[in-house]
Amino acid sequence: MTDPKSSPSRREFLKTTGLVAAASAVSQAAVPLVHAGESHLIQVALVGCGGRGTGAAANALATESGPIKLVAMADVFDHKLKSSYDELHKEYCCCEELTVDEDKKFLGFDAYRKAMDCLKPGDVVILATPPAFRWVHFTYAIEKGLNVFMEKPVTVDGPTSRKMLALAEKSIQKNLKVGVGLMCRHCKARQELFDRIRGGQIGDIVALRAYRQTGPVGSMPAPPKPNDISELLYQIKMFHGFLWASGGCYSDFLIHNIDECCWMKDAWPVQAKATGARTYRGDAIDQNFDTYSVEYTFDDGAKLFLEGRNIDGCDSEFASYAHGTKGSAVISTSSHTPAKCRIYKGQKMVKKNLAWAYPQPELNPYQLEWDQLLEAIRKDHTYNEVKRGVEANLVASMGRMAAHTGQIVTFEEMLSCPHEFGPDVDKLTMYSPAPLQAGPNGKYPYPEPGIKRDREY
């Protein structure tokens, strides 16, 4: 089996993105308001300088639709900003695309405003901080009339989902172009697979299976906080470990499998029931489970079975599958790209039953999503992925909540859930207390299914 760690991430793609810039078209209705002409310089600001933000900036600079420059950067960590700039500078040191002067590198919780203030209406801001801050930064981007690329996840709970849906409407009213980093939707192989499924090649979908079973990923197994950092900054640094900051490893990592499966079904599930467990925790203080097993149900009764595991030494799989009344399909084979989509006659996925396979190699969806966003900006095509991004997040959140509470959770219940993990994140400063406080034993609250049944912690 292919090692999931061998597949390229957005950060790894940075190393080759300057060599690959695939052009693609977006054909949608135009509503002329704020946009850039085809030959107009587009300036970019990066807010959130971790691996995802750095990779997104590289993808932006690699597009070939017209002149573009990265002019401002913002983060709360100086070392992240410096590392991001240095990594980009290796690729673009002799190019005009990278023009971030020292006085355009901003630090602190208000740095996002200063970075966006360097742009003019119609330019682009990349929002790649932990998702707790997405609604805060998106609010200011809309106020400034900026087009946006935002990384997923875009919400972490019910209240932030409602905020983002309202902001989505405002951004549409202002004709802002907004991309969301669910890049699998831009994959050409998956797009053809979707068309073939819609055309009836595997019949009606009755079940989908998705797996992200790997070792610990990112900062999900957060160890005890060292003494040289505040609790707030530590939780932001280790954001995968804290539900208020990221929605946890479930929302941050499993959302891609969830989204691509729901895309093929062309529907969102109406409810979820799940189990999960904390196993080999050692001294880790994060809020995650190590295993998640979720049954999603669609309105027509079809199921999506999702398996997530973050434990070393176990069998690994990172893939998604669809099963129909006439045949079956591979949605993704290992990690995000290449997808290597295939269709089989019947349910046994063996070579002799192969009916179709997408030709290799594939264009990289990380680049395609940027090519399509910038083309929409330059040609003033309608382009706004926020509502769909929020809905994908809600499906992820309801599966996570079902596992964390031990209850069946519906889509509507997740959307209306009153528990906001990080209230007042828009008011945080470098000296604020963290939204999550440790107990007297130094441990943070974690999910207790069956005991805490109407909230996750």
Going residue by residue through the chain (457 aa), what tens digit of pLDDT does each one get? 334 333 445 444 444 444 333 333 333 333 344 556 555 899 999 999 999 999 999 999 999 999 999 999 999 999 999 999 999 999 886 677 888 999 999 999 999 999 999 999 999 999 999 999 999 999 999 999 999 999 999 999 999 999 999 999 999 999 999 999 999 999 999 999 999 999 999 999 999 999 999 999 889 899 999 999 999 999 999 999 999 999 999 999 999 999 999 999 999 999 999 999 999 888 899 999 999 999 999 999 999 999 999 999 999 999 999 999 999 999 999 889 999 999 999 999 999 999 999 999 999 999 999 999 999 999 999 999 999 999 999 999 999 999 999 999 999 999 999 999 999 999 999 999 999 999 888 889 999 999 999 999 9
Farthest-apart Cα atoms in the chain, separation: 63
The predicted pLDDT at position 95 comes to 72
C-alpha–C-alpha distance, residues 236 and 218, integer Å: 13
The predicted pLDDT at position 34 comes to 53
What CATH number has the domain spanning 4-184+366-385? 3.40.50.720
The predicted pLDDT at position 16 comes to 43
The predicted pLDDT at position 361 comes to 97
Structural contact between residues 449 and 276, judged by C-beta atoms closer than 8 angstroms: yes
The set of residues, in sequence order, having a beta carbon less than 8 Å from that of 425 and lying 6+ positions away, is 132, 133, 136, 244, 435
Bridge partners, 356 (sequence order): 343
The predicted pLDDT at position 37 comes to 56
CATH class of the domain at 188-363+394-427: alpha beta
Tell me the residue type at 55. Answer: G
pLDDT tens digit string along 282-313?
Answer: 889 999 999 999 999 999 999 999 999 999 99
3-state secondary structure of 47: strand
The predicted pLDDT at position 36 comes to 60
The predicted pLDDT at position 4 comes to 37
Report pTM. Answer: 0.91
> How do the domains of the chain map onto residue ranges?
4-184+366-385, 188-363+394-427
Cβ burial 271-291 (10 Å sphere, 16+ → b, else e) = bbbbebeeeeeeebbbbbbbb
- Opening angle at CA 360, ends 21 and 191, nearest 5: 75
H/E segment holding residue 33: none
3-state secondary structure of 321: strand
The predicted pLDDT at position 282 comes to 86
The predicted pLDDT at position 39 comes to 56
The residue behind tokens 């349910």 is: 347
> What are the two backbone dihedrals, phi and then psi, of residue 427, each rounded to the nearest 5 degrees?
-105, 0
How many residues are recorded in the chain? 457
131 preceded by cis ω (within 30°)?
no
